Structure 1
Amino acid sequence: MTRYLLIIFVTLSFSKKIVSQTKYLDSIHRNKVYYFKNLNNDSLFYYSKKLQQSNNKLSKVIGISAEAYAYHRLKKYKEAEETALRLVEKTNYFLNNSTNEKQAFLEAKVSGLNRLFWIKKNQEDYTKAYEYLIQMQSSNEQHPNKKDVKYLRYKIIIKTLKAIINQALNMNFEAKQILLSAYSDSNSEAFSNLKDNRFLQQKADLLNSLGNAYLSINRTDIQNKNHNKSYLDSASYYYDKAFEITKLFNPPHEDSEIIYNLRKTEVLIARKEFSKAVDLINNYKNISNGYPYFHREYFQKAICFHNLKKSDSTIYYSNKFLKNQEKCETSKLITIYDILSKEYNNLNKLDSAYKYSKLTLDQYNLAKSSKDKTFNLFYNNNFEQAQQLNKTIEEREATKQRNLIISFIILLLTFFIITFYLIRKEKEKKKELILIMNKNKPAEIEKKEYNIDEALETKILDEFKNVTKNSDFLKPEFSINYIADKLETNTTYISFVFNKHHEESFKQYCTKLKINYVVEKLKTDKNFRKYSIQAIAEEIGYTNASAFTRAFKKHIGITPSAFLKDIEN
């Protein structure tokens, strides 16, 4: 009996020792994850994998969260999304099947949804980003302690993300107000003793978002033909303030300087100080610390050299940017395509100019469609919240009922006003976008009038004459494409020249040539009159006798059979 008790004691002692060692190792690995988060990606991946191998559930989800962050930092959005979705799935499982550490798992889930928001935001998939934001807000509100610092921090983060969605919908002033409110919240007494890197990062992100908001307001102001220098001063001020906060990180954030300089370059471009901007861009290589900045460099240099009237450099960096098109944001694609269309137009390379101006409009329409879907989701979600508020109103005292219903009505009116405002803004933006090239003429008209030089027009007119002389119009394959291929140009130019010199469509013109040919031949060639209607139709390129008969009757007024009888008589 004594021996059995001794074995049990030794086994329990050994188990406790293993558990103790596991906790100790997990603690070390967690600290390493937090230490290397913004310092070294290879180490971050290594220790995140270590945590995922732990028997402790919370250590596992912290490891998955760290891995998702590492992929996101490398802009490997596909891998980051897959890992973040795995994190949300894992935390949901633990929340449903575990009685311990529910608060910690809930916070990990919110963190995973936050990562998914940023992935979709960076891909400019604002509809999906907003869906994750809704889930994030719902999950955070399940937090059992509404005075907990993490709950309060995520409330501020959610405000920041809502502001970003507002910016995506061109509601820049609204975004600014939300961000100022969030920044005020971050300075409350609840956070007075919070100096860890995650909170500092949150404040820096908030300040950078404020800088972005003022930069966007400045762009809107310019589009409305106003200019207020103070917006750019404010953008620069908040970027500077964010950078000062990143200097407090321990350990330091190795990307903070390059990210700060990327933003300062945007301000210089907005100020139209393009030479200074190029100097700053050329210094990226000295401060990058391995940060993948090249895509941003190509984009910014394309803008700068375009405005500095350096066509070769503009086209060079635009093409380098477009080589990784799958990583391109839609808004940046629109900018680069627009720049290329203007550059090629200035160089009188009209086919290329036309190609890129069309791509500009195509991408703009895609972006508009995406933002329309996002706005509908934004509106509907808030409308559902308003409906829920109405249900709450009904349960309250009668004395408060009237005021809350009025608030509800005001909320609805606000959304209707926002809807009207956005629709009007989008219409204005579309008009502005399609007013390209010289003297702000509509793009379609300008390209048609400007893109046809006299030599090409003469060549096309001569070909029309040749078509009549050599009877090319009788061939079954004859069409506007036939002429375009022969002259090695496009159908748009052929159509434009034809319409300029004729008061009928190209198809009507071809039909008239064919029918006139048949009429003349029937009058002069007795053998031709012996042909069947099908054979006559095939002679002039028709494969269908019925189609030929309809065309003949429309042009001559009677059917081919009736015409033949008249001739014979």
Structure 2
Amino acid sequence: MTKYLLFISIIFSFSKKVVSQTTYLDSIHASKIYYYKNLNNDSLFYYAKRLSESNNICKKLEGANSVAYSYYRLRNFEKSEKTAIQVIKLVDSLSTKENTACLLEKKIVSLNRLFWIRKNQENYNDAYRYLTLMQSTNEKISKISGRHLRYKLTIKSAKAIVNRALKMELAAKNILLSAYNDSKQEVYKTLNDNPLFLEQKANIINSLGNIYMDLSIKNNNPIFIDSASFYYDKAFEVTKLFNPPHEDSEIIYNFRKTEVLIARKDFSKAINLVNNYKNISNGSPYLDREYFQKAICFHNLQESDSAIYYSNKLIKNYKNCETSKLITIYDILSKEYNNINKLDSAYKYSKLTLDQYNLAKKTKDETFNLFYNNNFQQAQELNKTIEKREAKKHRNLIVSFTILLLTFFIITFYLIRKEKEKKKELILIMSKNKPVETEKKEYNIDEALEAKILDEFTHITKNLDFLKSNFSINYIADKLDTNTTYISFVFNKHHEESFKQYCTRLKINYVVEKLKTDKNFRKYSIQAIAEEIGYTNASAFTRAFKKHIGITPSIFLKNIEN
């Protein structure tokens, strides 16, 4: 018996040592992963694989997520996606038994990896689906935990990315400013020493720089370029606080500073900066950026041979190039080949530009619908919650209102009876008097001036003045050196609609006819079509178009194409 107990004791002691040693190795592997995450991808992959073989489920999933990240850095999106999906399936199979914060965190990390894979593939429809799953999963984690707070910022940043992809730059900017302000609140102060939080903060600030770059292009305003440069500098300062340092911080910063130079049309300086990439890359893949940015610079410097050379280098070496980059490169090639009279090649790349444009437009339209429907659904759910919460309050309000209404009727009835005789006398007095007619005000306008105004109405429809963004009744008055009252009087005398309705009708009729007859015009974005007829934003144009035609411009375009 004593020997048996001694044997059990030895086995127990040995098992305890094995578990302790395993825990120790897991800790070592995890620390190595953290250290090599942004320094050396080979070392990262090695320790990530070791940790993914752990017996501890949380450590195992942490290792698998690090493997997915390693593949992602190599742009091997297929293997990265496969690994992330395996993590999610494993978590879902365990969550019914063991719904811990650790498992939920690993699922969010995998969903975030899938979001970035789809974002880089410019498949924003799927990217947004993963984002909504991230949000619902994060709601299951304690609201006061550091993880929950960090993931809230991650989700906000991702939403801004989707908005930016949909050309909703102002919405994206507001989301990012909100995230940046959140990061400075008291509840986040405990995370100030957290390297993951610092990385998030740098990403948010860099994203603000990207948005201001977009706004500078959209509005042709150099002030936005300065703002973009400011935020890029600010983000780079945050990356200097990383410990260990991020291997790619300096090269990424230079990518963005080159984009600023390109936006400022300082193409020669931009090329000099690109030529220095090889000295600061630290092994980071940068050639796709080099080829793309050099193609743009040489195209704008009218150096056709170099522009064509780097464009072809990008297409040849990067089969999975983003759609937006392909559109730019195909457009450059079509223009350059046209300039050197190689019309077959020019036509080929012109067609490829349109094909990629239509593909991107279709994807973004689908994403916009998903984005809208999701927000609409959330709004509906919020409405239902409010209705339930406020139901009792509403009932009390109705009862109170009914009592007040009855009181009002009683007082009113009393006052009516008291004043009855006085009212009868007043009615008799009024019945003896003739009603006074309100005459419509007439203006004594010279016939020649009236004819001149009518001629101008005809003239503006022929020379398309009504398409100008500054066109109004004041425009006509200034042109004829008269006042708007006369213009308005003559217009109302000869038309059965308001001047504004008249102008809107001319604009919509013009755009409908042009969409029917001009195939190139159909390729414009809704914003571009709106600006073509004097609208400053697509929303106002869409409302006016639907009111007059009965359907939105997007549906009208699809009907024409079909």
Q: TM-score, normalised by structure 2?
A: 0.70
Pairing 1:109–2:102 present:
no
Tell me which amino acid in the other structure corresponds to 1:12: F
Q: Given the superposition, is the C-alpha separation of residues 425 and 334 from structure 1 closer, same or farther in structure 2, using an over 3 Å criterion?
A: closer
Query: Equivalents in 1 of 2:312, 2:248: separation in Å?
Result: 26
Does structure 1 retain, via aligned residues, the 8 Å contact 2:334–2:345? yes
Q: Given the superposition, is the C-alpha separation of residues 298 and 126 from structure 1 closer, same or farther in structure 2, using an over 3 Å criterion?
A: same
Offset of 1:54 from its aligned partner? 1.1
* Aligned match for 1:125, one of 78, 98, 123: 123
Pairing 1:63–2:60 present:
no
Query: Equivalents in 1 of 2:531, 2:113: separation in Å?
Result: 35
Tell me which amino acid in the other structure corresponds to 2:234: K
Tell me which amino acid in the other structure corresponds to 2:162: I
Q: Which residue of 2 aligns with 1:305?
A: 298
Q: Which residue of 2 aligns with 1:370?
A: 363
Query: Equivalents in 2 of 1:425, 1:231: separation in Å?
Result: 25
Q: Which residue of 2 aligns with 1:182?
A: 179
Deviation string 1:276-326 (CA, Å, 9 cap, x unpaired) is 000000000000011110011101000000000100000000100111352
Q: Given the superposition, is the C-alpha separation of residues 317 and 400 from structure 1 closer, same or farther in structure 2, using an over 3 Å criterion?
A: farther
Offset of 1:270 from its aligned partner? 0.7
Runs of 4+ in structure 1 deviating by more than 6 angstroms, as ranges, are 399-402, 430-433
Q: Which residue of 2 aligns with 1:137?
A: 135
Pairing 1:11–2:11 present:
yes
Pairing 1:387–2:387 present:
no
Does structure 2 retain, via aligned residues, the 8 Å contact 1:84–1:113? yes
**Does 68-77 or 124-133 show the bigger shift?**
68-77
Offset of 1:96 from its aligned partner? 2.4
**Does 3-12 or 130-139 show the bigger shift?**
3-12
Query: Equivalents in 2 of 1:431, 1:357: separation in Å?
Result: 24
Alignment of 1:63-462 (within 5 A): 63-98=63-98, 102-143=100-141, 145-194=142-191, 195-221=193-219, 227-398=220-391, 426-429=525-528
Q: Given the superposition, is the C-alpha separation of residues 400 and 72 from structure 1 closer, same or farther in structure 2, using an over 3 Å criterion?
A: farther
Residue identity over aligned pairs, in percent, reads 63
Deviation string 1:531-569 (CA, Å, 9 cap, x unpaired) is xxxxxxxxxxxxxxxxxxxxxxxxxxxxxxxxxxxxxxx
> What secondary structure is seen at the aligned counterpart in 1 of 2:310?
helix
Tell me which amino acid in the other structure corresponds to 2:279: N
Offset of 1:424 from its aligned partner? 12
Does structure 1 retain, via aligned residues, the 8 Å contact 2:58–2:103? yes
Query: Equivalents in 2 of 1:378, 1:215: separation in Å?
Result: 23
Query: Equivalents in 2 of 1:283, 1:268: separation in Å?
Result: 14
Offset of 1:272 from its aligned partner? 0.6
Does structure 2 retain, via aligned residues, the 8 Å contact 1:48–1:66? yes
Query: Equivalents in 2 of 1:104, 1:142: separation in Å?
Result: 11
Q: Which residue of 2 aligns with 1:462?
A: none
Tell me which amino acid in the other structure corresponds to 1:332: K
Q: Given the superposition, is the C-alpha separation of residues 311 and 105 from structure 1 closer, same or farther in structure 2, using an over 3 Å criterion?
A: same
Query: Equivalents in 2 of 1:299, 1:93: separation in Å?
Result: 44
Offset of 1:127 from its aligned partner? 0.3
Q: Given the superposition, is the C-alpha separation of residues 207 and 10 from structure 1 closer, same or farther in structure 2, using an over 3 Å criterion?
A: same
Q: Which residue of 1 aligns with 2:435?
A: none
> What secondary structure is seen at the aligned counterpart in 1 of 2:247?
coil
Deviation string 1:394-432 (CA, Å, 9 cap, x unpaired) is 312247669xxxxxxxxxxxxxxxxxxxx9983344899
Q: Given the superposition, is the C-alpha separation of residues 191 and 394 from structure 1 closer, same or farther in structure 2, using an over 3 Å criterion?
A: closer
Query: Equivalents in 1 of 2:271, 2:528: separation in Å?
Result: 29
> What secondary structure is seen at the aligned counterpart in 1 of 2:148?
helix
Offset of 1:183 from its aligned partner? 0.5
Q: Given the superposition, is the C-alpha separation of residues 394 and 428 from structure 1 closer, same or farther in structure 2, using an over 3 Å criterion?
A: closer
> What secondary structure is seen at the aligned counterpart in 2 of 1:97?
coil
> What secondary structure is seen at the aligned counterpart in 2 of 1:192?
helix
Offset of 1:228 from its aligned partner? 1.9
Deviation string 1:415-467 (CA, Å, 9 cap, x unpaired) is xxxxxxxx99833448999xxxxxxxxxxxxxxxxxxxxxxxxxxxxxxxxxx
Tell me which amino acid in the other structure corresponds to 2:140: Q
**Does 352-361 or 296-305 show the bigger shift?**
352-361
Offset of 1:262 from its aligned partner? 0.5
Query: Equivalents in 2 of 1:426, 1:386: separation in Å?
Result: 28
Q: Given the superposition, is the C-alpha separation of residues 401 and 287 from structure 1 closer, same or farther in structure 2, using an over 3 Å criterion?
A: farther
Deviation string 1:150-205 (CA, Å, 9 cap, x unpaired) is 10111111011001000000000110010000011111222324213211111111
Query: Equivalents in 2 of 1:154, 1:341: separation in Å?
Result: 44
Deviation string 1:4-46 (CA, Å, 9 cap, x unpaired) is 2212211111111111111111111111111111111111111
Query: Equivalents in 2 of 1:201, 1:314: separation in Å?
Result: 35
Does structure 1 retain, via aligned residues, the 8 Å contact 2:149–2:188? no
Does structure 2 retain, via aligned residues, the 8 Å contact 1:160–1:178? yes
Query: Equivalents in 1 of 2:198, 2:300: separation in Å?
Result: 37
Tell me which amino acid in the other structure corresponds to 1:162: K
Tell me which amino acid in the other structure corresponds to 1:25: L
Does structure 2 retain, via aligned residues, the 8 Å contact 1:110–1:139? yes
Query: Equivalents in 2 of 1:246, 1:230: separation in Å?
Result: 25
Q: Given the superposition, is the C-alpha separation of residues 425 and 97 from structure 1 closer, same or farther in structure 2, using an over 3 Å criterion?
A: farther
> What secondary structure is seen at the aligned counterpart in 1 of 2:353?
helix
Tell me which amino acid in the other structure corresponds to 2:281: S
Q: Given the superposition, is the C-alpha separation of residues 331 and 429 from structure 1 closer, same or farther in structure 2, using an over 3 Å criterion?
A: farther
Tell me which amino acid in the other structure corresponds to 1:290: G
Q: Which residue of 2 aligns with 1:516?
A: none
Tell me which amino acid in the other structure corresponds to 1:426: S
Structure 1: stretches of 5+ with no match in the other structure: 222-226, 403-422, 434-569
Offset of 1:98 from its aligned partner? 3.0
Deviation string 1:201-241 (CA, Å, 9 cap, x unpaired) is 111111111111111111211xxxxx322211111111111
Pairing 1:2–2:101 present:
no
Query: Equivalents in 2 of 1:424, 1:313: separation in Å?
Result: 29
> What secondary structure is seen at the aligned counterpart in 2 of 1:276?
helix
Q: Which residue of 2 aligns with 1:417?
A: none
Does structure 2 retain, via aligned residues, the 8 Å contact 1:149–1:190? no
Q: Given the superposition, is the C-alpha separation of residues 29 and 320 from structure 1 closer, same or farther in structure 2, using an over 3 Å criterion?
A: same
Query: Equivalents in 2 of 1:401, 1:218: separation in Å?
Result: 49
Structure 2: stretches of 5+ with no match in the other structure: 396-521, 533-562
Query: Equivalents in 1 of 2:389, 2:45: separation in Å?
Result: 53
Query: Equivalents in 2 of 1:267, 1:425: separation in Å?
Result: 26
Q: Given the superposition, is the C-alpha separation of residues 262 and 375 from structure 1 closer, same or farther in structure 2, using an over 3 Å criterion?
A: same
Tell me which amino acid in the other structure corresponds to 1:202: Q
Pairing 1:51–2:150 present:
no
Q: Which residue of 1 aligns with 2:459?
A: none
Q: Given the superposition, is the C-alpha separation of residues 140 and 184 from structure 1 closer, same or farther in structure 2, using an over 3 Å criterion?
A: same
Does structure 2 retain, via aligned residues, the 8 Å contact 1:298–1:320? yes
